[in-house]
Amino acid sequence: MNLRACLLALAIIPLAQQSKADEAIALVGVGTTTCSEYATMYKSDPTTADTVFWTWVQGFLSGWNTAAMKKGEAPRDLGKAPEQQVQSFHSYCDRHPLSVVAQAALDLYMSLPELHR
């Protein structure tokens, strides 16, 4: 799959998952993609898939840290071993193909060490 096809697929996935107008939606974007769908995109174009998904994951992790700090909790260390973080994300998706990317990101978040203030 080329870059244009991958981006088109990423744009269509959230549309396919839209709910009725009266339903609340708590999660949108590529985080709603299943791990198996991510794996298919990754096999076709690893660089684009990782760029698109990892950007979303980093925003998700940063959002969790922001919420934790607002509640007075310790944030997680997002800066150490980025290669290990990507590997952990991939490993989770390999083990849980029906899970969504957001769950893989949350699993990664919970595995990161807390920053001590």
Query: Is the pLDDT confidence value at 74 over 90?
Result: yes
Average pLDDT, the chain: 84
- Looking at residue 44, what is its pLDDT? 94
100 phi/psi in degrees, rounded to 5: -90, 160
74 or 8, which is more confident? 74
Give the integer Cα–Cα distance in Å for 22 and 75. 34
62 phi/psi in degrees, rounded to 5: -65, -40
The whole-number average pLDDT for the span 20-34 is 77
Kindly report the three-state secondary structure assignment for every residue of 30-41.
HHHCEHHHHHHH
27 or 102, which is more confident? 102
- Looking at residue 21, what is its pLDDT? 56
- For the chain, domain boundaries: 3-111
37-62 pLDDT, tens per residue? 999 999 999 999 989 999 999 999 99
- What one-letter code names the amino acid at 13? I
